[in-house]
């Protein structure tokens, strides 16, 4: 048995993003991990009960996923609806699956209010990015799972060298 890697479903070509698209990552490392059966796929927002398509959402007031997990921040969509509960449900589902499948690392799409690990949007829906992490990325990290963005896939690979 090798390592197990939780991967954002949209990176694997599943059209689950808010706008109905995928964000397929064509990378030989990811292909190799899939061929080895190391990849566990999940979309936290779909797992949290949200449909595709759905309105875009951002963590409010320039806060981060850690603040949402701690109950200090909300997630809102472009209609103004509070979607914090499904985002938290999705993060819990991702953590439960990762633990059940023995995932010690995750490769998640950056910029997402769920999956972002380096940057997220600032809550103003004006396209402004800031350093920060999404709700799922925060909960996984708080539980000892290392989260990497696609830009850092080589770092993720290096972290697997013990296998």
Per-position DSSP letters for the chain, written without gaps between them: ----EEEEGGGGT---STTS-------HHHHHHHHTT-EEEE-HHHHTT--SS---EEEGGG--HHHHHTTS--EEETT--B-HHHHHHHHHHHHHHHHHHT--EEE--TT-TTT-SSEEE-SSSSS-EEE---HHHHHHHHTT-EEE-GGGHHHHHHHTTT-
Is the bond leading into 28 cis (omega within 30 degrees of zero)? no
By beta-carbon proximity to ligand SF4, the closer residue of 63 and 109 is 109
Among 5, 6, 17, 59, binds ligand SF4 (CB under 6 A): 17
Among 30, 44, 148, 157, binds ligand SF4 (CB under 6 A): 44
Among 9, 138, 156, 157, binds ligand SF4 (CB under 6 A): 9
Q: Name the segment binding ligand SF4 (CB under 6 A); options: 8-16, 28-36, 54-62, 117-125.
A: 8-16
- We find the least distance from the C-beta atom of residue 162 to ligand SF4, in angstroms, to be 27
- We find the least distance from the C-beta atom of residue 74 to ligand SF4, in angstroms, to be 17
Segment 74 to 113, residues that bind ligand SF4, using CB under 6 A: 109, 112
Q: Name the segment binding ligand SF4 (CB under 6 A); options: 5-13, 27-35, 58-66, 152-160.
A: 5-13
Among 115, 147, 149, 157, binds ligand SF4 (CB under 6 A): 115
Q: Which residues contact 37 (CB under 8 A, 6 or more apart)?
A: 2
Residue 54 in contact with ligand SF4, rule: CB under 6 A: no
Is-contact 75 38, C-beta < 8 A?
no
- We find the least distance from the C-beta atom of residue 44 to ligand SF4, in angstroms, to be 5
Binding site for ligand SF4 (CB under 6 A): 8-10, 16-17, 43-45, 109, 112, 114-115
């Amino acid at each position: 048995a090798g390592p197990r890697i939780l991967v954002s479903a949209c990176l694997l070509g599943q059209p689950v993003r808010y706008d109905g698209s995928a964000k397929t990552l064509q990378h030989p490392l990811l292909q190799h991990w899939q061929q080895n059966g190391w990849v566990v796929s999940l979309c936290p927002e779909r797992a949290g009960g949200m449909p595709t398509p759905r309105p875009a959402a951002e963590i409010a007031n320039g806060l981060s996923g850690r603040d949402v997990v701690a109950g200090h921040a909300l997630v809102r969509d472009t209609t103004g609806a509070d979607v914090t509960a499904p985002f938290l449900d999705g993060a819990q589902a991702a953590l439960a699956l990762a633990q059940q499948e023995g995932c010690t690392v995750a490769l998640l799409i950056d910029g997402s209010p769920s999956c972002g690990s380096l940057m997220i949007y600032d809550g103003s829906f004006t396209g402004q990015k800031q350093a920060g992490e999404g709700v799922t990325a925060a909960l996984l990290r708080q539980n000892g799972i290392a989260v990497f963005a696609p830009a850092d896939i080589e770092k993720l690979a290096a972290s697997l060298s013990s296998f």
